[in-house]
A and B are shown apart, each in its own frame.
Chain A
């Protein structure tokens, strides 16, 4: 099969609220300019474009169309969109490259979460017949899941605080982190509960953001990048849409996606997990079967900045950057939907297999 690699990554600053539009142009244009300059290419070098965003966040239909202005779509471009995190746009672009029809693709995602009531809007992802009419928010579901794990002895409140404290300390070394703090679990446990039993640090911040990645195939990737991050495995799976028919303390779709993407080799330099709540990092670690010594989210991860519809793509981008910088094998995860119903795993390596 064609070798395909991430050759460039850029993202907008993580910020609680931009004054830009919900169509993301203001956040995306600098990302594209960054990528073009870094790779020494222009718009016309890109064979395929694919984006991820949500009209529910923008409050308008076909909101992604306006973002295409940030590309410049004349003469017509080869373009597609998913109403999902842009990690799934990357998957579509990867498939496009596998066909051999194009040798480069630019993938981007964006979301202005601050424009609405994000917690409530994410609740609208649930079954519109029997769940969404209750008015349940994303954090309510996460809270119920966290207590289920507490009751089952899967974790303690201290375990969750340890996850959050590690994330906040890690983010101190990330220049663009929205939240970073030299803090320990002891201190975090004294802070108030916001979504019983979760505390503020167990929940993701609201983040406006955007990210973009350039993919290239074979020799084109080698031309564009000294050390491309080769995608040696990529897989996505989905759990049942019957929310309470699922086992909330397991993530079978993630387990399967990880098995397929890792191909039986658990060796990893790091893992970038797209888990917005502290207990979900523990669930995802277990679902993937990560070894104890694999560093998770060395940048701080979604607990320190959680851009919508580009957050999963950003996990892949940050994993790729680790490979650019010399790492051998890094895992990236993207999750979305109620309680991470859908999961994608990509494995990035310094040499193609």
Chain B
């Protein structure tokens, strides 16, 4: 058997999360250029504020402003920043214990590698435009503040909103805390994953068949059910399905639904029919479109045939079949497909 087929699968979700009263207070503080912790039952101040006391589970609402300066408890140098990181030049991961806090904040530190040390004093550098996100600031060494000039070039202020982009920029928030501004109640937290997706050996034979204009199923052996697309193993007993079988591009509608609802990415104007088609020679139906007839004429038992796209458009995909259309044959007898519903 040939090597399995693989393809990149890039996933991206833009989660929108409600912040609630505790994280909401913290991220509203970030937007306003303030760092908040909260005092828990044993008297310690935790940053960020926990929603509940980690020891007792009591809701926490005793907010305490901390920092803005703090002390590095630990660090790790990141030589090659990745696209998901807040900075695009080498930086350090750091545990920063802000003044007035009893536990550290995990964040990033922009500075020279050789000045990093446990005990280093750091301060936040705030982004010009802040949305109430953890990336509204980065930390920089405090000593840089005392040694740098007050302002490099007032005629050409930094045009980027990346917080660490200009080491000469003033450290205080660009806008003062605004009591009138609404609290931050929602934040977007995008998440991306890149997977190299592998088809199974059996699925790969099926996909290669499609690229040749053939429909390939598989079974455990003669007389056993034919699965299309082929599965790695019989779902009945887990025995590998190693015998490939070509099935016809004609079949019977076993069940169907009429799509009336528009959705993102829809390629056909509703109403249209999505159906299960039991291909002749197969024992499990595949899902496909039924077109070239009014939606209200589609019925269980209707005989249909694949309408293939032009061969020049074929790939390793069931999209090579554009849709199924009625053959005009008499309907299949219910008994012929009742076990395949």
Contact = CB atoms under 8 A, between A and B. Distances in A.
A2 interface: no
Contacts of A68: 235
A134 B135 CA distance: 7
B106 A244 contact: yes
Contact of A135 (B23, B86, B237): B86
A130 B48 contact: yes
Contact of B76 (A43, A74, A140, A242): A140
B73 A26 contact: no
A72, A124, A148, A245: residue with the most chain B Cβ atoms closer than 10 Å: A245
B73 A148 contact: yes
B196 interface: yes
A21 B106 contact: no
A140 B93 contact: yes
A133 B134 contact: yes
Interface stretch (A112-120, A156-164, A222-230): A112-120
A61 B54 CA distance: 31
B93 A144 contact: yes
A58 B193 CA distance: 10
B57 to A, nearest CB: 11
Contacts of A128: 15, 17, 189, 191
A199 to B, nearest CB: 13
A73 B233 CA distance: 11
Contacts of A100: none
A243 interface: yes
Given A69-B233, A144-B93, A120 B238 contact: no
B69 interface: no
A56 B195 CA distance: 9
B46 A242 contact: yes
A129 B95 contact: no
B9 interface: yes
Contacts of A143: 76, 93
A151 to B, nearest CB: 4
Interface in B29-63: 46-48, 50, 54
Contacts of A21: 4, 198-200, 203, 232
A115 B239 CA distance: 26
A244 B104 contact: yes
A32 B236 CA distance: 15
Interface in A217-241: 240
Nearest to B92: A196
Contacts of A245: 46, 50, 54, 103
A73 B236 CA distance: 6
A304 to B, nearest CB: 23
B106 A59 contact: no
Contact of B236 (A74, A131, A132, A141): A74
Nearest to B234: A72
A73 B237 CA distance: 7
A19 B199 CA distance: 9
Contact of A59 (B11, B77, B82, B118): B11
Nearest to A19: B4
A20 B204 CA distance: 11
A247 to B, nearest CB: 9
Contact of A72 (B84, B94, B203, B236): B236
Nearest to B46: A245
A29 B74 contact: no
B19 interface: yes
A132 B191 contact: yes
A27 to B, nearest CB: 11
Contacts of B107: 134
B124 to A, nearest CB: 14
A225 to B, nearest CB: 23
A147 interface: yes
A336 interface: no
A310 to B, nearest CB: 18
A195 interface: yes
A72 B104 contact: no
Contacts of A197: 76
B82 A120 contact: yes
Contact of A69 (B86, B118, B232): B232
A71 interface: yes
B81 to A, nearest CB: 9
8 closest A-B pairs by CB: A59-B195, A72-B238, A135-B84, A143-B76, A240-B54, A72-B237, A25-B232, A196-B77
5 contacts: A21-B4, A115-B197, A130-B23, A132-B191, A245-B103
Interface of A: 19-22, 25-26, 29, 32, 43, 56, 58-60, 68-74, 112, 114-117, 120-121, 124, 128-136, 140-141, 143-145, 147-148, 151, 195-197, 240, 242-246
Given A147-B118, A245-B50, A246-B54, 8 more contacts: A56-B193, A59-B193, A116-B196, A132-B189, A134-B134, A143-B76, A144-B74, A244-B46
